[in-house]
Amino acid sequence: MTVPVTIRLQEEDFDVAREIAALSRDRTDIGAVVSFSGICRSDKADGEVGDAIAALVLEHYPGMAEEEIARHAEEAVARWPLTGLTVIHRFGRIVPGDNIVLVVTASAHREAAFHAAEFLMDYLKTRAPFWKREEGSAGSGWVDAHDRDDAAAARWAKS
């Protein structure tokens, strides 16, 4: 059986429960579904100084972003016995409390679903072709990568 993979980049919001239901509906081969939803927050990351975040503006390179995410989704399917996978990433202006990203992985067993979800989120956080600009009362600025995210992604490197 071919593993169903859904990848969407969109400006509009998504419904987490609806996406999980769509992936698992009428499936008896799924024993575990793991989801991660990233939500825009108003405060800066750990220890960063600056005013509150009024909005994030996410930009991407259409076509290239979908291809890159698909490439990593294929790797996840090859590495773990998944029975389904959904990745949704928003772009455009997103305000605190809004959804940014959703990764849903399904498998017969929880371990594969957890690992695949973590792998994909570590990739999306560090290497997906998105650019993020924070807006606040003092103006706006591009968000730099964090070493902690690179360290998390490094654990998935094949040796």
Structural domain count of the chain: 1
Picking from 35, 37, 14, 39, the residue whose alpha carbon sits closest to that of residue 24 is: 35
What CATH code is carried by the domain that includes residue 85? 3.90.1170.40
Instruction: Please check whether residue 158 lies inside any domain of the structure.
Output: no
Cα of 3 vs its chain's centroid, Å: 19
Locate the DSSP E strands across the chain: 5-10, 32-39, 55-60, 82-90, 92-94, 99-107, 130-136, 139-142
Instruction: Please check whether residue 68 lies inside any domain of the structure.
Output: yes
pTM equals 0.89
Instruction: Please check whether residue 159 lies inside any domain of the structure.
Output: no
Per residue in 98-110, pLDDT (tens digit) is 999 999 999 999 9
Picking from 51, 31, 50, 53, the residue whose alpha carbon sits closest to that of residue 110 is: 31
Per residue in 41-63, pLDDT (tens digit) is 988 665 566 678 899 999 998 99
Q: Tell me which residue range forms the domain holding 40.
A: 5-153
CA dist., res. 120 & res. 59, Å (int): 19
